[in-house]
Structure 1
Amino acid sequence: MEAINGARKANSSKATILALGKAFPPQVVMQDLLVDGYFKNTNCEDPRLREKLTRLCKTTTVKTRYVVMSEEILKKYPELTVEGVPTLKQRLNICNKAVTELAIEASQNCIKKWGRPMSDITHLVYVSSSDVRLPGGDLHLASGLGLNTDVRRVSIYFSGCSGGGAGLRVAKDIAENNPGSRVLLATSETTIMGFRPPNVDRPYDLVGAALFGDGAGAIIIGSNPNKEIEKPLFELHTTVQQFLPDTEKIIDGKLTEEGLSFTLARELPQIIEDHIEEFCKKLTKEVGFSQEEYNKLFWAVHPGGPAILNRLEKKFHLDEDKLSASRRALSDFGNASSNTIVYVLEYLLEDNEKMKSEGKNNPDEWGLILAFGPGVTFEGILTRAVIN
Structure 2
Amino acid sequence: MPAFIHHIATQVPACAYSQAEARERVKTWSADPKTKRLIHAIYGRSGIETRHSVSSDFKPGAVTELFHVTEEGAFISPNTGARNACYARESRRLAVELARQTLNEAPGFTARDVTHIVFASCTGFANPGPDYHIIRELGLREEVQRYTLGFMGCYAAFPALRMAAQFCAADAGAVVLVICLELCSLHMQINDQPDSILANSVFADGAAAALVSAREPQDGQPALCLSGFESALVASSEQDMAWEIGNEGFNIVLSSYVPDIIGANIHALIGGVLGRRDLSFEDIQEWAVHPGGRAILDKVQTSLALKPDALDAARGVLRDYGNMSSATILFVLKRLLEDPSKRGLTCAMAFGPGLTIETALLDILR
TM-score by length of 2: 0.91
Whether 2:92 is the aligned partner of 1:100: answer yes
Identity %: 26
Report the equivalent of 2:169: 176
Report the equivalent of 2:51: 65
Report the equivalent of 1:8: none
Rounded Cα–Cα distance in structure 1 between residues aligned with 2:226 and 2:77: 46
1:372/1:77 Cα in 2 relative to 1: closer, same or farther (>3 Å)?
A: closer
Report the equivalent of 1:307: 295
Does the Cα contact within 8 Å between 1:22 and 1:105 map onto a contact in 2?
Answer: no
Whether 2:143 is the aligned partner of 1:150: answer yes
Report the equivalent of 1:129: 122
Q: Counterpart of 1:256 in structure 2: which amino acid?
A: G
Corresponding residue SS for 1:171: helix
Cα RMSD, aligned residues only:
2.3
Gaps of 5+ in 2: none
Q: Counterpart of 2:218 in structure 1: which amino acid?
A: K
Report the equivalent of 2:178: 185
Q: Counterpart of 1:267 in structure 2: which amino acid?
A: Y
- How many pairs were matched up? 359
Whether 2:210 is the aligned partner of 1:224: answer no
Q: Counterpart of 1:298 in structure 2: which amino acid?
A: E
Rounded Cα–Cα distance in structure 2 between residues aligned with 1:30 and 1:325: 20
Shift of 1:231: 3.2
1:246/1:138 Cα in 2 relative to 1: closer, same or farther (>3 Å)?
A: farther
- Aligned pairs for 1:19-58 (under 5 A) are 19-40=7-28, 42=29, 44-58=30-44
Among 278, 281, 304, the alignment partner of 2:268 is 278
Q: Counterpart of 1:21 in structure 2: which amino acid?
A: A
Q: Counterpart of 2:299 in structure 1: which amino acid?
A: R
Identify which range, 182-191 or 128-137, moves more after superposition: 128-137
Report the equivalent of 1:367: 346
Does the Cα contact within 8 Å between 2:95 and 2:134 map onto a contact in 1?
Answer: yes
Whether 2:156 is the aligned partner of 1:163: answer yes
Corresponding residue SS for 1:340: helix
Rounded Cα–Cα distance in structure 2 between residues aligned with 1:338 and 1:125: 13
Does the Cα contact within 8 Å between 1:298 and 1:368 map onto a contact in 2?
Answer: yes
Does the Cα contact within 8 Å between 1:125 and 1:185 map onto a contact in 2?
Answer: yes
Does the Cα contact within 8 Å between 1:91 and 1:192 map onto a contact in 2?
Answer: no
Whether 2:4 is the aligned partner of 1:16: answer yes
Q: 1:289-313: CA deviations, max 9, x gaps?
A: 324x16x420011101111111111
Q: Counterpart of 1:254 in structure 2: which amino acid?
A: E
Whichever structure has more helix as a proportion of its residues is 1
Shift of 1:187: 0.8
Q: Counterpart of 2:104 in structure 1: which amino acid?
A: K
Shift of 1:31: 1.2
Identify which range, 30-39 or 62-71, moves more after superposition: 30-39
Identify which range, 159-168 or 137-146, moves more after superposition: 137-146
Report the equivalent of 1:377: 356
Q: Counterpart of 2:224 in structure 1: which amino acid?
A: F
Does the Cα contact within 8 Å between 1:84 and 1:258 map onto a contact in 2?
Answer: no
Q: 1:20-64: CA deviations, max 9, x gaps?
A: 101111111111222222234x3x332222211111122110000
Rounded Cα–Cα distance in structure 1 between residues aligned with 2:288 and 2:259: 17
Report the equivalent of 2:285: 297
Among 244, 265, 290, the alignment partner of 2:255 is 265
Shift of 1:191: 2.1
Shift of 1:224: 2.5
Gaps of 5+ in 1: 1-12, 356-362
Q: 1:321-361: CA deviations, max 9, x gaps?
A: 1110000000000001011011101211233x2x3xxxxxx
Shift of 1:76: 6.3
Identify which range, 164-173 or 280-289, moves more after superposition: 280-289
Rounded Cα–Cα distance in structure 2 between residues aligned with 1:90 and 1:73: 17
Rounded Cα–Cα distance in structure 2 between residues aligned with 1:181 and 1:79: 50
Q: 1:154-180: CA deviations, max 9, x gaps?
A: 111111110122211211111222111
Does the Cα contact within 8 Å between 1:88 and 1:257 map onto a contact in 2?
Answer: yes
Q: Counterpart of 2:91 in structure 1: which amino acid?
A: V
- Aligned pairs for 1:298-337 (under 5 A) are 298-337=286-325
Does the Cα contact within 8 Å between 1:99 and 1:130 map onto a contact in 2?
Answer: no
Shift of 1:245: 4.1
Shift of 1:219: 0.5
Corresponding residue SS for 2:238: coil
Report the equivalent of 2:326: 338
Report the equivalent of 1:206: 197
